Amino acid sequence: MKDVKFIIITGLSGAGRTLALRVFEDHGFFCVDNLPPALIPTFAELCKESRKRINKIALVIDIRGGDFFDSLFESLKIMRDTGYAYKILFLEASDEVLIKRFKESRRRHPLAPEGRIIEGIISERKKMIKLKEAADCIIDTSYKTPGQLKEEIVRNFIEPGNEEPLLINIVSFGFKQGIPLDADLVFDVRFIPNPYYVDELRFLSGEDPNVRDYVMKWPESRQFLDKLNELIEFLIPYYIKEGKPQLVIAIGCTGGQHRSIAIANELSARLKSAHHKVIVDHRDFNKDRGETGES
């Protein structure tokens, strides 16, 4: 089954397994956390036979499985004998860093629920020796930022050219309805002359070519769009480097009907022409249409 790719994520508790799983998930892997090792071969068969072919799979297998953990090597042997290729990613960190992480999260170590954290760490290291020796890649996360960990995982496990692009969500909105809660960047376009005060445009929206032409005919609109596009293009590589999978850009006017929609569409067109993955959402489109007030 050479076309099915399995990644086994394992290692020490607190070393970053959950973060690693999210990295694979962001790159299109079907991810499962804490699957009992004995079920791995059966799970592989189910994935192969699924109607929607699943060929990239990441599994977190760790000491939380208790007695089930001991069957891991037997399951991996079955996988190998039946033709399923897999790689093992082992995450570790220093005792000092692990203790600090457990204290900050106020979590108990799974192997020392009633004892000291260091006792659990020592016990887990002993149980993990053979698995660490079998690992294809060992990453020490002691002094890595989330972005650095993502970079190393991508470098070791994601084929060049198969990296998931940054997803850019452009949201037009009206300040009367409030700023989108999930916005990373917010831009106010209320400085642009308002089509609401043009009788033939008032009850149209920024989707209409006449409104779009009105909004974009002003020098300040075109200059703003040029500078905004330049800023976004500058930021994108740095967001990707930091491991950000999605960027939400909110563009607002008073009611979210005219200027914000037109500018959002224009920015989207420019970013798409540069081969970025873009989704546009006109959040407040058709809200309060026809009521008195600016838009």
145 and 183 inside one domain: no
Which residues does 156 contact at the CB level (< 8 Å), separation at least 6? Answer: 89, 137
Bridge partners, 171 (sequence order) = 250, 281
> Is 162 domain-assigned?
no
106 and 189 inside one domain: no
> Is 295 domain-assigned?
no
Percent of the chain with pLDDT over 70: 91
Does the CA dihedral 179-182-188-192 come out positive or negative? negative
- Residue 84 pLDDT greater than 90, yes or no: no
The number of folded domains in the chain is 2
- Single out the residue in 139, 157, 175 at which a domain terminates: 157
Q: What string of DSSP letters covers 225-282?
A: HHHHHHHHHHHHHHHHHTT--EEEEEEEESSSSSHHHHHHHHHHHHHHHTT-EEEEEE
Query: Cα–Cα distance between 48 and 179 in angstroms, integer?
Result: 44
148 and 37 inside one domain: yes
* pTM strictly above 0.85: no
pLDDT single digits (tens) 114-143: 788 898 899 899 988 988 999 999 999 999
- The per-residue pLDDT for 27 is 85
Give alpha helix (H) positions in the chain.
17-26, 40-49, 72-81, 95-105, 117-127, 129-134, 146-157, 209-216, 219-241, 259-273
SS3 assignment, position 180: coil
113 and 178 inside one domain: no
- The per-residue pLDDT for 160 is 66
234 and 144 inside one domain: no
> Is 292 domain-assigned?
no
> Is 293 domain-assigned?
no
Range of the structural domain that residue 35 is part of: 5-157
173 and 251 inside one domain: yes
Split at pLDDT 50, 70, 90, the class of 54 is confident
pLDDT single digits (tens) 10-51: 999 999 999 999 999 988 899 999 888 888 888 888 887 776
